[in-house]
Amino acid sequence: MIRKLIKNLSQAFSKQSSTASAKHLPDIITRGEHGISRSEISEHALKVLYRLHKNGYQGYLVGGAVRELLLGKNPKDFDISTDAKPEQVKRLFRNCRIIGRRFRLAHVFFGDEIIEVATFRAASEMVHSEHGMVMADNVFGTLEEDAFRRDFTVNALYYNIADFSVVDFMGGMQDIKDGILRMIGEPDVRFREDPVRILRAVRFCAKLNFKLADNLLAPMQELKVLLHNVSSARLYQELAKLFFTGHAFDTYELLKKQEMLGFLFPITENSLTQQVYPTDKLIIQVLKDTDERLSQNKTATPAFLFAAMLWHAVCERAKLLVQRGKRPHAALFDAQDEILSEQTKVISIPKMTQQTIKEIWSLQWRLEKAYQRNAFKLFSQLRFRAGLDFLIARNKIGEYTLLADFWQQFALLSEHDRIKHVKLLPKLLNKKQDSIYLKNLGLLNKKT
């Protein structure tokens, strides 16, 4: 019954798309009207486009690259759409590899840069799961059909290498001018096809500072529960797009506003609801720091994000385990393992990332209870800088950590001056401390 309903909805959408494409000619924005310059496009993307065109195929720069160029931004990725089949693209480029099962794509490699080349997709013959998700989609189509298959109008703009115009079937140019994120087709059908589009809507609004179209709000709220059906591995991939494009703070605030944070971080949502710890302040501080780092072309790691999201849950779990009779060290490590085990059921965190997260957490205790003899050993730890940055973030939000300033200065000094500086530790450790972490482990004013 459910499958039949989904099939009917899909067919209705396909008919709608076919009818629309037949009735409406695209808007053609000429070279002098859109402002996109080839000097702003990756030379490797241009090489692919020119070779496709030279060999009689259509070649279009598409999606986020066109959108970003029209907004005056610098795209990170350059994707291409063409009428050439993946095998035909592979014959044109020796440095090409065909990937994907749900929809086959051609990746053309130029050193560290990968140009993704996709064949136009048709608007029908998709294979759905019982929840309406697209499971297989290997039917190729025309440019018009491809435009109707895209998710949002601002992502359905095509830069034509043949005459340097922009082809707009969906009114995306006007939506960019108006700052509106609008779905192509019926939102409930499109969200059922791929629930991750709900997160993409949040991401684009945060990144572009756009508003959601009115007809998106209700379906997003109604169907966000379908995010439970998305694989944990795919959610991890989406996490990087949500929080590591320079708009992490805005994304976080929008996820909370739309009541979607719990579908990614249920443990964090519970910590926010209980309001026992300054969880929200810490997350906001870390996300703002992440945005600042990315704006300076510095690296940022998912481990740091997870460490912040789950930090106070670890604190509370460690406290509970100590109350049950566990020794502080055992409680610390068990709490870390338990919390990460629960989180990975939702988002698949790679083992190496999990290890980094635990090292950041463990360094909080080690840095706060440091003594002269192990100061230099701690400083030589691989994750020292990450642990210190996390300690500093905690200090910024008022989660008082006694040695944050000490370690900041220690890291900046020469080796000779560090020997003098480390002698301050005994005096500092005798001062009153108010560390949430140490309180929970029962280690305040105790020798380790």
pLDDT on residue 123: 67
Q: What CATH architecture applies to the domain 2-178?
A: 2-Layer Sandwich (3.30)
DSSP class of 183: B
406 vs 248, more confident: 248
- Rounded mean pLDDT of 419-441? 70
Let me know if the fold of 2-178 is the same as that of 266-441: no
Amino acid residing at 365: W
pLDDT on residue 100: 85
Is 133 in contact with 196 (CB distance < 8 Å)?
no
In this model, does residue 19 exceed pLDDT 70? no
SS3 state at 114: strand
* Count of helix runs (H) and strand runs (E) in the chain: 23, 12
Say which range, 126-135, 245-254, 264-273, 402-411, has the weakest mean pLDDT.
Answer: 126-135
- State pLDDT tens for residues 165-191: 999 999 999 999 999 999 999 999 999
- State pLDDT tens for residues 26-42: 999 999 999 899 999 99
Query: What is the residue-averaged pLDDT of the chain?
Result: 88
Sequence-distant (≥ 6) Cβ neighbours of residue 351 within 8 angstroms: none
Say which range, 10-24, 102-116, 349-363, 406-420, has the weakest mean pLDDT.
Answer: 10-24
pLDDT on residue 14: 45
Sequence-distant (≥ 6) Cβ neighbours of residue 337 within 8 angstroms: none
In this model, does residue 446 exceed pLDDT 70? no
d(CA 211, CA 84): 36
pLDDT on residue 1: 44
In this model, does residue 5 exceed pLDDT 50? no
Tell me the domain boundaries of the chain. 2-178, 266-441
d(CA 42, CA 47): 9
Sequence-distant (≥ 6) Cβ neighbours of residue 54 within 8 angstroms: none
pLDDT on residue 20: 42
For residue 149 the two structure tokens come to 């298959």
Which residues belong to the active site? 77, 79, 151
pLDDT on residue 427: 72
In this model, does residue 22 exceed pLDDT 50? no
Percent of the chain scored above 70 by pLDDT?
86
Give the orientation angle of helix 232-243 with respect to helix 248-257, to 10 degrees: 120
Q: How does residue 53 score in pLDDT terms, banded at 50, 70 and 90? A: very high
pLDDT on residue 10: 47
Q: Which long-range contacts (CB under 8 A, 24 or more apart) does 218-225 make?
A: 219/187, 219/188, 219/191, 220/187, 220/191, 220/258, 221/258, 221/259, 222/188, 223/188, 223/191, 223/192, 223/195, 223/198, 224/195, 224/198, 224/258, 224/259, 224/260, 224/263
Beta pairing class for 180-181 and 211-212:
parallel
pLDDT on residue 9: 43
266-441: CATH topology: cca-adding enzyme, domain 2 (1.10.3090)
- State pLDDT tens for residues 91-150: 999 999 999 877 789 999 999 999 999 999 986 555 555 555 555 556 889 999 999 999
Measuring CA to CA, which residue among 210, 187, 198, 186 is closest to residue 258? 198
For residue 333 the two structure tokens come to 């490590």
